[in-house]
Amino acid sequence: KEQQAALMKNLSLNSSQLKQIKKVMASHGMKLHKSYKQLMWKENGKFITITNAEVFKSSGNIYSIIGTPIVRELNKKKEEAEEKINEIDEANEVIEEVEIKEEDILTVIEQSGKTREEAIEALKKNKG
């Protein structure tokens, strides 16, 4: 856990750095595709979670994810337990996807003075 905390500290970006990354992505033709509260997947014995995820997409169907990563090692028993938990969560929770346009986010930011995350959350809450 200490190693993960140290890694997370090194991976953490401030809002200025996030803006720079998003600007570079936009300059390469990548646009905000969707925002998610959480993205999760398993890969090579690891359970990867990205919270407050923003998925960008290029015209060539290349995707890039910005968010807060959490990486956990899995063993077989943990993996089976995670699968059961995910099945229960999926059965109990219906997540409604709301497509949010970049221009809507910028409009809310300009008009309200809120942060990008607050603007996205408000748009999600009001279904776009």
**Per-residue pLDDT tens over the stretch 44-77:** 878 888 888 889 998 888 888 888 888 887 776 6
Per-residue pLDDT of 53-62, as tens digits, reads: 889 998 888 8
User: Tens of pLDDT along 90-115?
Assistant: 655 545 566 788 888 888 888 888 88
Residues sharing a CB contact under 8 Å with residue 66, sequence separation 6 or more, in sequence order: 18, 21, 22, 53, 54, 56
Residue 109, phi then psi, degrees to nearest 5: -60, -45
Kindly tell me the burial class for residue 56, based on how many C-beta atoms sit within 10 Å of its own C-beta (0-12, 13-18, 19 or more). Answer: buried
Residues in Cβ contact with 16 at an 8 Å cutoff, skipping those fewer than 6 apart: none
Q: What is the pTM of this model?
A: 0.47
Long-range Cβ pairs for the range 48-55 (8 Å, 24+): 48/72, 52/117, 54/120
| CB neighbour list of residue 82: distance below 8 Å, 6 or more residues apart | 42, 47, 74
